[in-house]
Amino acid sequence: MNADLVLFGDVVTMDDALPRAEGLAVTGGRITTVGSRAELDVLIGAGTQVVDVGSACILPGFIEPHGHPLEEAIVLGPAVVDIRPVTIADADTVVATIAETISDRGAAGAFLNGWDPLLQKGLPEPTLKWLDTTAPDYPLVILHNSGHVAYFNTAAAEQAGITRDTPDPFGGSYGHDASGALDGAAYETPAVFTVAGHAMTIGDDFPALLAAECARLNAAGITTIAEMSFDPRMRPALNAIADAGLLTTRFRLYEMSTPARTTDAAPGDGNDLVRQIGIKVWSDGSPWVGNIATSFPYLDTEATRGLGIACTHGHANYTGEQIHDISAAYFDKGWQIACHAHGDDAITMVLDAWEQLLREYPRDDHRLRLEHVGAMRADQFQRAADLGVTVSIFIDHLHYWGDVLVDDLFGPEHGSVWAAAGSALAAGQRFTFHNDGPVTPANPLRNMQDAVTRLAPSGRVVAPEERIPVDAALRAHTVNAAWQLFSEENIGAIFPGAYADLVVLSANPLDTEPTSLSDLKILATVLEGRTVYGELSAIG
C-alpha cells in the first residue's frame, strides 16, 4: 500500500528499538514504517507526497507536560495587557504601561499580567494605597508573573464582591493590614481567580484566541500540551473548538481540585486529541513571592526585604493531612494526581501523604506527579522514584532567575542547585521539563539548553554537577513526557503505529554545541501528518 507521506532525513526516533533512521512513512495520520531509504522507496506511489529534508533533523513533536494554554490564550489576548519580563524588561516602562492602560480602558477596568519585581527591579510596592492612587475610579488588577498573587484596587474589590469580611477561599487568601482591612493582595488560585474573574472569561473571541495559542505552541515545535488548571466550565467551549477542527495541538487535561473533592468526569474521558487524565492539587506557592515551604530561610537582601520575606522559611498552603485527604478523594476513583510543590519541606509533606495514600490504595502504575520541584533534594528524588512518583522540572527558572536564586533569595548552597535535573537523572526518574506558560514562553529547545548547560543570565554555571546529557534532555520533552501523560502508546517517539506528530529542526540536537541548542530553528511542525507550522516542501 502506498504511503500518504514519506519523509527522508536524519530521523532521531527516541525509540530504543531503533534510535536512528533514514526516513519514515505516514498513512492516515499514523506512522507506518520507520527505516532505510530502500524500505521506504517501495511505499512511494503516484499519490505519495515525498519530502527530503536534507541535513535537517526529524524528531517526535515536542510535548509540554505542564502549561496553562486555556488561561494563556486569554491573558495573551486583548483583554489583558502583557507586562511580563519577557515583554517589558524595566520597571519604568511597566508603570507607564499600567497608567496608559488605565487611561485607555476607563470604566471597563485595567487588567495586566506579568508583574515581577525580582526581574523588573525598581517597581513600586503594590500596596492598596498605590493601587488606589494609580487607579482611583475604575478597577485595576495586576497579576504577578508567577500566577500566585493578584494585586487589586478598591474598585476591583467592589467589582468582585470582596470585602474585609469575605472569608478566605480554601487554599487561597486575601491579604489584610493591621486593622483587618483588605491590603490589595490575593494569594493562590482560588483567591486570584475571584479577583481576576472579570478578565478571565470565555467570550465569542475564544476560538480565535485558542487558535493563536496553538499557533504559538506549534511555532515552538509543540504538538501536545497538558492543561494543568482545567476548569470544567471550559469544557463545552474546548469541545466545540476541537469539533470544529481548530485545534492544532493535543490537550491533556488536569482538572483543578475543589473543596467538594469531586468531579463529573471519569479518568480518560475524551479522545486522543483532547483527553482528561488527571487532577491538579497544590502544596505551596511561588519562590518569587515567599510562599514556598523550605527547610532553609530566604537570605536577608535588598530584594527579600522589599518583598517582606527576608529570613523567612515561607509556608505551605495545606497541611499534610489535607494533601492526603484531597488526593485520596480523587485517587480512589482512579485519577492521576499532579501536585505543585516547590519547597523541600512541601515536597517532604507531599511524599509523606502519598506514601500513606499508596499503602491505603495500592496501584502499580499510578504515575503520581510532583510539579516544578525547585528545591527538591537528591534524596527526595530517590524517595519519589522508589514510590513511583514522577517529577516535572521548571528548568527555565535558571534562564531567567538563575542569578536571582543565588544572589537575592537563597545563596549558593540552595539557590545554585535549584531544578536539580542531574539528581533526578541519577535517581532513575523519568523526569520532564516545562515552561508553565504564561510564566515563561513555551520553549523546549531552551529548556534542553538550560538543563545541559545550567547557564544563568550572568553567564555563570550554577551547580555544574547537575548538568545532564543532551539525549536525557531530549527525552524530557518527548518520550518521557508522553509516558508522564499516559500517552506513550501514541506519541512521544517515532515508531510504527504512533501518530505522525513531528518536528523538523535545522540540525540534530545530538550533534549541536550545547550552548547553541536554543538557536536551532523549528522548520516545520506536523500533527497527524498535517503540517501545522512551516512548510515541509520548502525544506531541503
* Domain locations along the chain: 5-61+497-538, 80-196, 253-484
Query: Residue 222 burial by CB count (10 A; 0-12/13-18/19+): exposed, middle or buried?
Result: buried
Q: Given this model, what pLDDT does residue 203 score?
A: 87
Helix count (H) and strand count (E) of the chain?
18, 21
Q: Domain 80-196, what architecture?
A: Roll (3.10)
Taking only the tens of pLDDT, the chain with its 540 residues reads 899 999 999 999 999 999 999 999 999 999 999 999 999 999 999 999 999 999 999 999 999 999 999 999 999 999 999 999 999 999 999 999 999 999 999 999 999 999 999 999 999 999 999 999 999 999 999 999 999 999 999 999 999 999 999 999 988 999 999 999 999 999 988 898 899 877 777 889 999 999 999 999 999 999 999 999 999 999 999 999 999 999 999 999 999 999 999 999 999 999 999 999 999 999 999 999 999 999 999 999 999 999 999 999 999 999 999 999 999 999 999 999 999 999 999 999 999 999 999 999 999 999 999 999 999 999 999 999 999 999 999 999 999 999 999 999 999 999 999 999 999 999 999 999 999 999 999 999 999 999 999 999 999 999 999 999 999 999 999 999 999 999 999 999 999 999 999 999 999 999 999 999 999 999 999 999 999 999 998 897
pTM above 0.85, yes or no: yes
Q: In 3D, which of 242, 217, 271 has the Cα closest to residue 503?
A: 217
Q: In 3D, which of 496, 494, 491, 471 has the Cα closest to residue 481?
A: 491
Q: Given this model, what pLDDT does residue 289 score?
A: 92
Provide the pairing of β-strand 140-144 with 149-152: antiparallel
SS (H, E, C) 237-255: HHHHHHHCCCCCCEEEEEE
Whole-angstrom CA distances from 179 to 176, 182, 184, 249 are 8, 9, 14, 49
Whole-angstrom CA distances from 262 to 243, 252, 331 are 27, 19, 11
**CATH of range 5-61+497-538; options 2.30.40.10, 2.60.120.280, 2.20.28.120, 3.40.50.10470:** 2.30.40.10
Q: Given this model, what pLDDT does residue 190 score?
A: 87
Contact 328, 281 (CB under 8 A): no
List the grid coordinates of 336. 492521576
Q: Given this model, what pLDDT does residue 221 score?
A: 98
- Dihedral sign for Cα atoms in the order 278, 282, 286, 287: negative
Provide the pairing of β-strand 274-282 with 336-341: parallel
CATH superfamily, region 253-484:
Metal-dependent hydrolases (3.20.20.140)
* Angle, alpha carbons 260-266-268 (nearest 5°): 135
